[in-house]
Amino acid sequence: MDKPEDLLKQLAAAGALADDDLPLGETALILAALDHRGVELAPYRDHLAKLAEDAGGALSSLRRGMTEVDAVTRALADTIAVRHRYVGDQSTFDDPQNADLIRVMDRRRGLPVSLGILYLETATRLGARAKGLNTPGHFLLAIGQDEHARIIDPFNAGVALRREDLRPPPPIPHGEPDEYEPVSPRDVILRLLNNIRTRALAGQDLVRSLTILERMVLVAPRRAELWLDLSNTNREVGKLKGAIVAAESCLRLAGDESTIGREAAFALLSLKRMVN
């Protein structure tokens, strides 16, 4: 079993990779292991392999008479939702266990994004093109690409949705990614972590929120906005030196001419006055 410091090193190594190279299932397991001191990850890694093995077997029997994308979509649902009985947790949706991949595997229930990680990881191991989507509120994913893609709802038994079933996206502010556009594995992990952080903030647990933000910057060290959030949260819990370091990191990444960089510079000035 890995020690917490070793798990954090593994997270930092994942954070150094390109967005699309981040190992989705493994990273989610490492994050969960940080909240389960002494857990052995081998059975959970074996389970991810078993999902892919079973889905591969289902895919072989479905290929005849179906397109590859439709066959993969059906194999994922048959394997994850039917054979292994994963379901969306409708009754206790806000239970923190639903965003913890270890507990999701133990309980066979979770949030859209945590279940989505199982679908994405399994599809990737099958060699299929699979991407999470930038969807508001309810995480969806796509198998295939362009007009041949199938949109899957992992929370509702892996059902395939028609594009006309999706609500029309609102106008997107300049610079923001379009709704229903593909996102990287790193963005999927950040969405998972943000679910945990949101619940910590709702419970006014700033220490937990800080812990999650520290993990978020390990996973995405080049995201300036996360460093600014980390600085502000450190300040709120009275960790001024940590707040200064995070503000400096934000400023280095964003530059002092950007809006977020100016926010970091102002925060840094205020923090240094407090320390002195």
**Residue 163: its pLDDT value, please?**
67
d(CA 213, CA 201): 12
pLDDT at position 171 is: 47
Which pair of structure tokens corresponds to residue 74? 């059906």
Residues facing 183 on adjacent strands: 132
Interior/surface letters 106-143, b for 16+ CB within 10 angstroms, e for the rest: ebebbbbbbbbbbbbbbbbbbebbbbbbbbeeebbbbb
Structural domains of the chain sorted by starting position, each given as residue range(s) with its CATH number in brackets? 4-186 (3.10.620), 222-275 (no CATH)
Per-residue pLDDT of the chain (276 residues; tens, 9 = 90+): 789 999 999 999 999 999 999 999 999 999 999 999 999 999 999 999 999 999 999 999 888 878 999 999 999 999 999 999 999 999 999 999 999 999 999 999 999 999 999 999 999 999 999 999 999 889 999 999 877 889 999 999 999 987 666 655 444 444 455 677 999 999 999 999 999 999 999 999 999 999 999 999 999 999 999 999 999 999 999 999 999 999 999 999 999 899 999 999 999 999 999 987
Record the pTM: 0.93
Do 73 and 160 form a contact (C-beta atoms < 8 A)? yes
Residue 148 pLDDT: 81
Q: Which residues does residue 88 pair with via DSSP β-bridges, in sequence order?
A: 110
CA–CA distance, 134 with 128 (Å, rounded to integer): 19
Give the C-alpha separation, 118 to 109, whole Å: 11
CB 88 within 8 A of CB 98: no
C-alpha dist (Å) from residue 112 to 54, 93, 190, 195: 21, 10, 14, 11
Expressed in percent and rounded to 5, the helix, strand and coil fractions of the chain are 65, 5, 30
Q: What distance in Å separates the CA atoms of residue 258 and residue 109, rounded to the nearest whole number?
A: 42
Q: How far apart are CA 3 and CA 6, in angstroms?
A: 5
